[in-house]
Amino acid sequence: MISLDQASQSVQGQYFTPELAAELIASFPRLPKADCLRVLDPGAGSGMLTAAIVDRVCREGEIGRVEVTAAELDPIMLPALDRTAELCRQQGHRMGVDVEVKVVQGDVIALQTGFEAELGDDFDLVIMNPPYRKLASLSWQRRAMAAAGWETGNLYAAFLALGVDSLAPGGQLVAITPRSFANGPYFEQFRKRLLSQVALGRVHTFESRSTVFADTGVLQENIVLSATKGGTRQDVTITSSRDHTDPVNERTVPYGELVAPDDRHQFIRIITNGADDRAAKAIRSLPASLSSLAVRVSTGRVVDFRARQNLQDTPTPGSLPLIYPGNLRGGLIEWPRSIGKAQGFRLLGEADAKALLPSGYYVAVKRFSAKEERRRIVASVWDPTQHHHQPVAFENHLNVFHAEGKGLDRELAWGLCAWLNSSVVDRHFRTFSGHTQVNATDLRSMNYPDEDALRRLGHHLDVLPGQEELDQLVDRLALETVAA
């Protein structure tokens, strides 16, 4: 058994594929009726996916020859990969299938973005568990991918891109990846090009990467996707399970429910069950957008490590409130609060005033929710009447709802806060976001109740009720009006 220390895995972004997960992934592609199946396994590791797809071909017995190119950078893995290749050849010989596995050592990006695609570009199937690691903006890998026409900020996205480029027309890409590329601005250019090149045919979701890769420490949700290069955009099969060992739930949806044709951001919305579907339909039925409400959402203006000279551990006369995610509590922003952060902001020059918002009601949303929090979207109201109507600064780990840089009125602020903390919004948000980050783009992309409904919702609130009571208020004041 191969054993790598965690530091080595982290540097290379390695997360090895469990056997049962490999069998699930290998079950995804449609095996063509052909004499030969050409397969690429980039970042092959010990060859678990290669073994799984060869085993499937041998058992089904409809293809006479399999040619696999298995590429791996790490020399430590090569003896195990060579051994897997030999076992695949032996299995094929026993079962009457001609199996050839070519092991290639090297960096997949270097191999595929040079003057020649050294691994080839006419594969019937690319199957992968790509490495997961951010790519620095000035790295050679980032530049090489840009030269190939792909904007990729993470190694797994680069592998997906090169997988698409390596396919013959009509070829299939099957991959297990983090779900983070499905939404948000960071992957938008990559996502748009990917979806222009392939048609998704099946998507499988896991609850979290920790259930599939229990020893890796990576906690993003994962998906297995199957896509066809140049394929038609028809119905998509959505399956889900807690992990790779659990029973699978399945539903089929029109392609437009997965990727809405009128969505300029091309979010991938994965609706796995009836409750998700009802939440998505409820949100889509709402009449308003932030723009029509004359509300904007922006990230907080203060990056604390760049403004150390402005910070005061203990607020003093002349310093102003600086709000962190830790100040959000139960729907109301508490300041100051014992959170281990300097929460006083001093003005040392004219430029510092640009970090402030004038006195008013604001709704702040955590950009990164903690794993243990029940909801992905955690919102609270800044009430100026409790803080002497002072200007206020928000730290960069918050999204802030405002009216063209000024405060909202009280009822609208509390209505927005209640709405954002509701279960229907949380369930809808999870259909397109598989990680704990909440981007301003995500918040702008949603539909909202109209202004009257939000004001009714916020009219009597100065603190959030419990979740059950809150959801009943949202249903009665914001959703039932639309349904009627």
Mean pLDDT, range 319-337, rounded to an integer: 96
Q: What is the pLDDT of residue 434?
A: 75
Q: Are residues 254 and 312 in the same domain?
A: no
Query: pLDDT tens digits, residue range 41-58?
Result: 999 999 999 999 999 999
Going by pLDDT thresholds of 50, 70 and 90, the confidence category of residue 448 is very high
- The residue segments making up the domain with residue 237 are 6-272
Is 74:106 a contact under the CB 8 Å cutoff? no
Q: Are residues 138 and 188 in the same domain?
A: yes
Count of domains forming the chain: 2
Distance CA 365, CA 298 (A): 10
CATH of the domain at 440: 3.90.220
Is the per-residue pLDDT at 10 higher than 50? no
CA dihedral angle for residue 402, residue 405, residue 409, residue 415, rounded to 10 degrees:
0
Distance CA 183, CA 59 (A): 38
Q: Are residues 43 and 173 in the same domain?
A: yes
Q: Are residues 240 and 331 in the same domain?
A: no
Q: Are residues 21 and 109 in the same domain?
A: yes
Is 447:288 a contact under the CB 8 Å cutoff? yes
Count Cα atoms within 13 angstroms, Cβ side, for 252.
3
Helix pair angle (19-26, 48-60), 10° resolution: 50
Q: Are residues 223 and 123 in the same domain?
A: yes
Query: pLDDT tens digits, residue range 58-96?
Result: 999 889 999 999 999 999 999 999 999 999 999 999 999
Query: pLDDT tens digits, residue range 132-151?
Result: 899 999 999 999 999 999 99
Structure tokens at 21: 């997960």
Mean pLDDT, range 327-347, rounded to an integer: 95
Q: For the chain, give the percent of residues with pLDDT over 70.
A: 91
* More reliable by pLDDT, 272 or 111: 111
Mark which of 257, 272, 287 sits at the end of a domain. Answer: 272
Structure tokens at 261: 């044709």
* More reliable by pLDDT, 275 or 89: 89
Residue 355 lies in a domain: yes
Residue 286 lies in a domain: no
User: Is this prediction's pTM over 0.75?
Assistant: yes
Residue 337 lies in a domain: yes
Residue 454 lies in a domain: yes
Averaged pLDDT score across all residues of the chain = 90
Is the per-residue pLDDT at 344 higher than 70? yes
CA 385 to chain centroid, in Å, comes to 38
Q: What are φ and ψ of residue 437, in 5° steps?
A: -85, 140
Residue 139 lies in a domain: yes
Mark which of 272, 304, 327 sits at the end of a domain. Answer: 272
Q: Which segments of 331-422 does DSSP mark as H helices, in order? A: 410-420
Q: Are residues 220 and 301 in the same domain?
A: no
Residue 288 lies in a domain: no
Count Cα atoms within 13 angstroms, Cβ side, for 420.
28
Residue 284 lies in a domain: no
Distance CA 40, CA 51 (A): 12
Distance CA 269, CA 158 (A): 22
Distance CA 269, CA 431 (A): 5
Query: Apex CA 94: angle with CA 89 and CA 99, to 5°?
Result: 30
According to the 3-state scheme, what is the secondary structure of 52-87?
HHHHHHHHHCCCCEEEEEEEECCHHHHHHHHHHHHH
* C-alpha distance from residue 249 to each of 201, 203, 240, 274 (Å): 16, 12, 5, 11
Q: For the chain, give the percent of residues with pLDDT over 90.
A: 76
* More reliable by pLDDT, 69 or 318: 69
Using DSSP's 3-state secondary structure scheme, residue 249 falls into strand
Q: Are residues 312 and 346 in the same domain?
A: yes
Q: Are residues 345 and 231 in the same domain?
A: no
CATH of the domain at 46: 3.40.50.150
Is the per-residue pLDDT at 5 higher than 70? no
Q: What is the pLDDT of residue 66?
A: 97
Q: Are residues 82 and 175 in the same domain?
A: yes
Q: Are residues 233 and 311 in the same domain?
A: no
> 85 CB contacts (<8 Å, ≥6 apart)?
47, 50, 68, 70, 101, 103
Query: pLDDT tens digits, residue range 171-221?
Result: 999 999 988 899 988 899 999 999 999 999 999 997 654 555 444 444 468
Query: pLDDT tens digits, residue range 99-126?
Result: 999 999 999 999 999 877 789 889 999 9
Q: Are residues 243 and 149 in the same domain?
A: yes
Is 70:47 a contact under the CB 8 Å cutoff? yes
> 219 CB contacts (<8 Å, ≥6 apart)?
208, 209, 210, 371
Is the per-residue pLDDT at 310 higher than 50? yes
Residue 290 lies in a domain: no
